[in-house]
Chains A and B, each alone.
Chain A
Amino acid sequence: MMRSRLALVILLAACSGRQNALDPASAQNRSITALFWAMFVVAAFIWFVVTVAFLVPAVRQRRTTREDAEPALELPAETSRRQTRLVSGATAVTVLILLVFLIYDFGVGRALATHPARALTIELVGHQWWWEVHYADPDPSKIVIDADELHVPVGQSVQIKLVSRDVIHSFWVPNLIGKRDLIPGYTSSIFFTADRPGVYRAQCAEFCGHQHAKMALDVVAHPAPEFSAWLERQRAPAADPSDSLAANGKRVFLSAACSKCHAITGVEAYGTVGPNLTHLATRRTLAAGTLPNTRGNLGGWIVDPQSIKPGARMPSNQLESRDLVALLAYLETLK
C-alpha cells in the first residue's frame, strides 16, 4: 500500500517540473503536447480494442473446441464474406486515422517552422561544456554577453540563433521546444514563445565529449517589463570594488591566469575562451549547472575544477589562500 502510494506520487511528480516535455510553458510546446496526447489516447484505445478482439475469440474457441474434432479446412461462405468485410473495414479505418494524424502532424510542424513577424534574437554559442549567450543590439555598447543562463520575456517570440565553437551540441528545453543542433560553421535557429514565467532546465542533447552530462542551461522566462529591467542591469559594467579585500581580489584576478580566458566588462580582462564573468554573482549555477553558485563551491571550482568536472577547459589554479579569499570577495561583488 505504502509502496503503491509512493509510486503514484513519483508518477504524478513526473507530470510537472522544470525539465518536462509534458508540462508545456510555450505556445509551441502546447501544440506538440496536444499532438502527443491525441496520438497517445487514440493509440491506447486501438490497442485496447485489438487486445479485446484477440482475447475474446481465443477464450470462446477454447470452450467450444473438442480435442478430437477435425479442424475445418474451409470456412462457410457467409463467415468468409463477413471476415473479408471486417478486415477491409479495419484497414480503411487504420488508413483514415493515420491520414488524419499525418495532416495534424504536418500542421503542427508547419506552425513550428513559421517565422514570427517580430522576434527577439538571442545568439547561443555552444562550447565544451558550457553555453555562451549573446543578447544582440544594434548599439555595440549595449550587447550583453552572459553564460549558462538564457533569459527570455514571456509572451514575445524569441529566435535563438545557434552556433558552436567546437563540436556538435544540441539545444533542448523540454518545457519550451524540441531539440535543435548547434553545428560548427553553420548557424541554425529555433523559435519559441514562452507563455508562463518560470525557470526551465535545458540540457545538451547531443553527446559532445567527456562532460556532456554536465552541460545544462537554465532558461528563465520573465514577464516582459522584468526582462527589460534585467537586460538593463546586465548592460552595466562591473562596479569597482569598494572594500580593500575585494580590491585586492581584483588585482589577483588580473595578475593570475583568470583574465587570460575570462572577460569582465569595465576591467582590463578581455578573454573570450571562458564564460564572461561581469555578472557572475547573479547566476544560479556554476560550470553549466554543475554546482549551485555559492562562495564555497566557487572557491572549490577555482582551485580544483578537474575533480568536480574532469576534462573541463578550466585548469586547476594554485593560489595562496589569502589571494583566494580576496578573489572570492571580488567575484562576489560582480552583481
Chain B
Amino acid sequence: MSLRCRNAGWKRGARRTSGVRLAALMASVVLIAGCEREARRFQESPPTASPTGDPLVVSDLQPGPAVVVSNVEAPYDDNAWAVSEGKSLYNAMNCSGCHFQGGGGIGPPLMDDDWTYGSEPQQVFASIAEGRPNGMPAWKFMLSAQQIWEITSYVRSLSGLNPKGARNARDDHMMRKPPEASTPNARPKNSTAPR
C-alpha cells in the first residue's frame, strides 16, 4: 500500500517534472523566436532582383488569359525592427502628406481592407516603386529596394497583413487609431477599378 502510494507519488512527480520541462522548452522556443523578431540586417543585397519586373496583377480586370502572380515573399513582414524603420521612412518621406497616418485623405486609405492595386507584398512594392496614377510618385529612384521593402511591410501592417508580433505596439505620437499590433486583421479585397 505504502509502496504503491509512494510509487504513485513518484509518478505524479515525474509527470510534474515533464510538465515543467515542457513549459521551459516552450518558453525557450518563444524566447528564441523573440530574438529573431528584431534581427537587424543592415547590409542586404537587394531581395530579389526586381519584383516589379515580373508580370504583376494589380486589379481583377485583366486582358487575355489569367496571369499567375509571382509569389515574392516580403523579406521584412516578420521583422519588427524593419517594420518600425518602414514607419519612420513613411513619415520621413512624407507619405503621411497624402495618406495621413493610414486613414487616407488626398491619397487612398491604407488601413482598410480595400486595395486598388493589390495587397500582396510585391504589389505594394510595385505601387511604391513605380508610382500610381493621380499623384503617387515613383520612389524607385529615391529609395533603395531595402527601404521600399521596409515601407511595404509597414503599410501591410496597417491593416494587419503581417504577423502580429512584428507590428508596432505603441505609437510615438498621439493617435486616434489603435496601434498596429491591436488592429484586427483585415481580409484584403481588390476593388474592381482604380479610383
Q: Which residues of A contact B (CB under 8 A)?
A: 166, 184, 210, 255-257, 260-261, 273, 306-307, 310-311, 315-317
Contacts and interface: CB of A to CB of B under 8 A. Distances in A.
A310 B92 contact: no
B43 A306 contact: yes
A317 B88 CA distance: 20
B144 interface: yes
A257 B143 contact: yes
Contacts of A317: 144
Interface of B: 40, 42-43, 88, 92-93, 141-144, 146-147, 172
A15 to B, nearest CB: 39
A316 B146 CA distance: 10
Given A210-B40, A273-B92, A306-B42, A315 B141 contact: no
Given A257-B144, A260-B93, A310-B43, 4 more contacts: A306-B42, A310-B42, A311-B42, A317-B144
A126 B88 CA distance: 15
Contacts of B147: 315
Which secondary structure characterizes the binding site on chain A? Answer: loop
Given A307-B43, A310-B43, A184 B172 contact: yes
Contact of B141 (A256, A306, A316): A256
A27 B138 CA distance: 54
Given A184-B172, A306-B42, A310-B43, A315 B143 contact: yes
Given A184-B172, A273-B92, A315-B147, A260 B43 contact: no
A256 B93 CA distance: 15
A98 to B, nearest CB: 44
Nearest to B146: A315
Instruction: Point out which of B40, B42, B172 has the most chain A C-beta atoms below 10 A from its C-beta.
Output: B42
B48 to A, nearest CB: 16
Q: Which 9 A-B pairs have the closest CB atoms?
A: A310-B42, A315-B144, A260-B142, A273-B92, A306-B42, A306-B43, A257-B142, A311-B42, A315-B147
Contacts of B42: 306, 310-311
A29 B43 CA distance: 42
A311 B40 contact: yes
Contacts of A307: 43
A4 B146 CA distance: 54
B27 to A, nearest CB: 28
B18 to A, nearest CB: 42
Contacts of B43: 306-307, 310, 316
Nearest to A210: B40
26 contacts: A166-B88, A255-B141, A256-B141, A257-B142, A257-B143, A257-B144, A260-B93, A260-B142, A260-B143, A261-B92, A273-B92, A273-B93, A306-B43, A307-B43, A310-B40, A310-B42, A310-B43, A311-B40, A311-B42, A315-B143, A315-B144, A315-B146, A315-B147, A316-B43, A316-B144, A317-B144
